[in-house]
Structure 1
Amino acid sequence: MHVLVVEDEAKMAALLARALTEEGHTVVVLDEGRDVLPAAEASEFDVIVLDVMLPGLDGFGVCAALRHHQVWTPVLMLTARGAVDDRVHGLDTGADDYLTKPFQLAEMFARLRALARRGPIPRPPQLRVGDLHLDPAAHRVWRGDTEISLSNKEFAVLETLMRRPGMVHTRAQILQRCWDLAFEARSNVVDVYMRYLRDKIDRPFGVTSLETIRGAGYRLREDGGRDGVSG
């Protein structure tokens, strides 16, 4: 693998570089967050090992900048032991996995191999479909410049659809993703929430984005909506 290590602690950086090199990988080491985006755009890395605590631009800012510039190289984020908020924030800004310090090198190697097998799959921390914009971490939704207030369940259903625009989701699939097992597959709760969503993200804007596919389920149009009020 071609690995980019971003770590400002000299001893840790040297340890990681030596261990990865002994495993047969090629390694580039950086100690400042501001240098990561230019390096990642200039060279094709298989994985990035990214420490959270960096001078200037920290690991969260680095990860957000990479994803904003459509750099989808898998990122393994290194965080302090017990820093749950750091891990959550890191994943929300676009990291693919994390390790808490101190860690075993064997585990890091295994996680890096798993990430490299996955490859650079687009996993944006924020979702955009047409002029619909959803921020999972902030729990906010906009159509154009207008923010839309959604309940937790409405938000969950919309996020499910926005993660795979153009794909038909069955009612059972939506139930499985957004409700617990207390709801039976024959429940009409999905249809009810689709009506709620249309009343909030479509009708006020005179567009149709949520489509009913008779006998199959629902889908969100890939263009985020077309002219004409949905039914």
Structure 2
Amino acid sequence: MQILIVEDEKRLADALYQILLEQKYMADVVYNGIDALEYGLSGIYDLIILDIMIPYKDGFEVAYELRKNKIDTPILMLTAKDTVPDKVTGLNKGADDYMTKPFAPEELIARIKALTRRKGEVVLDKTSFDDFNFNASSNTLSKGTKSVHLNYKEAEILKLLLSKPDVIVSKDEIITKVWGYDSDAGSNNVEAYISFLRRKLNFINSDTEIKSIKKMGYRLEKSM
């Protein structure tokens, strides 16, 4: 899952980044409203954590302009502004949830999970596809009595493929979702990790195929 953090207080932004990293989420951080709008308009994020009091454009403006441009990414406003009128304004401008500072990391993670479920994202814990099982809690791929551990990027790519089983997932989408918006990763990185995943599917004797669609991307195909 890819999350955008918009917070102008650098120490808090770093703390938020670490909290998300510990939960194995990918995150980008920006510190002002102009960058927040530019990144948010890309449409690649599963969630935006948005402060209100940020330079150039405040969080209310950013939320309003994202919704005006048909961006439906869930927005969690995380702010020190705790009055009822502030909360009402935030929700009316397009926020999906409103959380005040200081906050408990456990509550933040719970709200993130709730918001992404509302969006309809596949929230994986234990998932079966064709002839294999995937446990997202332990990043374990298994079939019958055979199992193998996936590293972080292998697991994230598999989650992305599993979340769109009937859709071709492009290399560009894999790069932005798994490596990040500003990453220098390229097609070769994606191809390498797809190769690793194929080997691990083969190791557990799965007949599921990660099909390469020329000039388009990849999708999972069930065994015949």
TM-score norm. by structure 1 comes to 0.50
Cross-structure match for 1:104: 104
The one-letter code matched in structure 2 to 1:19 is I
Q: CA deviation at 1:84?
A: 1.8
The one-letter code matched in structure 2 to 1:72 is D
1:50 pairs with 2:39: no
Q: CA deviation at 1:44?
A: 1.0
Q: CA deviation at 1:116?
A: 0.7
Q: CA deviation at 1:68?
A: 0.4
5 Å-filtered alignment, 1:1-231, equals 1-80=1-80, 82-119=82-119
Aligned residues: 121
CA 66–7 in structure 1, closer or farther in 2 if over 3 Å, else same: same
Deviations 1:161-191 (A, max 9, x none): xxxxxxxxxxxxxxxxxxxxxxxxxxxxxxx
Q: CA deviation at 1:120?
A: 7.5
Structure 2 residue matching 1:85: 3-state secondary structure: helix
Q: Is the 8 A contact 2:5 2:13 kept in 1?
A: yes
State the identity %.
45
Distance in 2 between residues matched to 1:95 and 1:11, nearest whole Å: 24
Instruction: Give 5+ residue unaligned stretches, structure 2.
Output: 122-224
Structure 1 residue matching 2:3: 3-state secondary structure: strand
Q: CA deviation at 1:21?
A: 0.6
Q: CA deviation at 1:35?
A: 1.2
Q: Is the 8 A contact 2:43 2:73 kept in 1?
A: no
Distance in 2 between residues matched to 1:120 and 1:48, nearest whole Å: 16
The one-letter code matched in structure 2 to 1:66 is L
Deviations 1:40-74 (A, max 9, x none): 23251110000011011000000000000000100
Q: Is the 8 A contact 1:73 1:120 kept in 2?
A: no
Distance in 1 between residues matched to 2:14 and 2:8, nearest whole Å: 10
Q: Which has the larger radius of gyration?
A: 1
Q: CA deviation at 1:38?
A: 1.9
Distance in 2 between residues matched to 1:42 and 1:116, nearest whole Å: 18
Q: CA deviation at 1:79?
A: 2.3
CA 81–66 in structure 1, closer or farther in 2 if over 3 Å, else same: closer
Q: Is the 8 A contact 1:5 1:30 kept in 2?
A: yes
CA 93–81 in structure 1, closer or farther in 2 if over 3 Å, else same: closer
The one-letter code matched in structure 2 to 1:76 is L
CA 31–96 in structure 1, closer or farther in 2 if over 3 Å, else same: same
Q: Which has the higher contact order (CA 8 A, sep 6+)?
A: 2
Q: Is the 8 A contact 1:81 1:102 kept in 2?
A: no
